Amino acid sequence: MHAARRWLAASLLAALTLALAACSSETTITLDAGEAWVVENVSRVDLAMLPGISVGGDLIPELGLGLSVDVDTGAWSKDLLESQLDQLAGYYRSQGVEATWSSRPAGGSETAYTIHLEGTGWERLCTVALTGTQASVVNLGDDQVHFTMDVPVDQSGFGYMMDNTVHLRARQIVDGNAHQVRGGQATWQNPQGTMWATVALARPINLASPWVVGGAVAAGAVAVTTAVILAVRSSVSTRYRPSRPRRTGIPRRPPPRRPPVRRPPRVSRRRR
């Protein structure tokens, strides 16, 4: 147990280093039916700043993770950061979460790192993917849930060094304290304190519903009828198509030419 917590703490240092060296961070949380969810974070990191960052385990308790282990990596580098991201993705997978990360150049010395998490269950979302944020998702019925996530004031110091954006996506945003709402997306810009929103999720399709079964049967009947009509038309057009004369290899002779008609010469009569 102690080894697992130590490994988690070492892996979380990668996320903390991203926060310290990032120029901007954008997190998108998507909630769907069946307690399915996706969390994706894109951080633009200035790699030139990594050698000047030294992260130790004494910072872990300040993140509210309940971890107190002595982990000190010293100065960071691109290779060390990406190695820790591999460990962080491995930890998420061990908790039943699909986890991947990728990177791409973002101009100059900046690199955009994308961490993609996907899973099911509100509890796993809050305790694994959004650990340290005191997030919660409560089912309200009628395909609606209430979402909250805290950004404690004592952690906001990390956010002063970058532009932080959080998006929450669902079928519909019913209510909340987001700075901007567009369709099914709520956006908080540089949030502090508690973010909350009541959202409506996509309604799952019930394959046993009589409407679904009836629609499928009707669609099948239309498809069969159309196929029969096309087959009958093709058969009729083939059966009653007028036959064409067959071509043979013998060339046709041209018709004989008629001889020209010779008329007698015209005799002119003179008047006397």
* 219 and 177 share one domain: no
For residue 103, tell me if it sits in a domain: yes
**What's the mean pLDDT in 111-120?**
94
pLDDT of 215 strictly over 90 = no
Residue 66: what pLDDT? 37
Rounded percentage of the chain residues whose pLDDT exceeds 90: 34
**What's the mean pLDDT in 116-143?**
93
* 61 half-sphere exposure, CB direction, 13 A CA radius: 4
* 219 and 191 share one domain: no
Residue 222 sits in which domain range? Answer: 209-233
pLDDT of 11 strictly over 80 = no
For residue 92, tell me if it sits in a domain: yes
Rounded percentage of the chain residues whose pLDDT exceeds 70: 56
- Render pLDDT for 162-179 as a digit per residue (tens, 0 to 9): 688 999 999 999 999 999
* 98 and 153 share one domain: yes
- Average pLDDT over the chain, rounded to whole? 74
* 80 and 155 share one domain: yes
* 155 and 216 share one domain: no
* 171 and 215 share one domain: no
* 81 and 10 share one domain: yes
* 220 and 146 share one domain: no
* 153 and 225 share one domain: no
For residue 240, tell me if it sits in a domain: no
Q: How confident is the model at residue 196 (pLDDT cuts 50, 70, 90)?
A: very high
For residue 71, tell me if it sits in a domain: yes
For residue 269, tell me if it sits in a domain: no
For residue 257, tell me if it sits in a domain: no
Residue 49: what pLDDT? 77
d(Cα 22, Cα 164) in Å, to the nearest integer? 10
* 163 and 219 share one domain: no
For residue 78, tell me if it sits in a domain: yes
Counting the structural domains of the chain, the total is 2
* 97 and 140 share one domain: yes
Residue 155: what pLDDT? 47
State the pTM of this model. Answer: 0.66
pLDDT of 152 strictly over 80 = no
For residue 239, tell me if it sits in a domain: no
Residue 88: what pLDDT? 85
Q: How confident is the model at residue 135 (pLDDT cuts 50, 70, 90)?
A: very high
* 64 and 104 share one domain: yes
Tell me if 26 sits within 8 A of 41, measured CB to CB: yes
Q: In Å, how far are 76, 173, 253 from 49, measured between CA atoms?
A: 9, 38, 94
**What's the mean pLDDT in 251-263?**
69
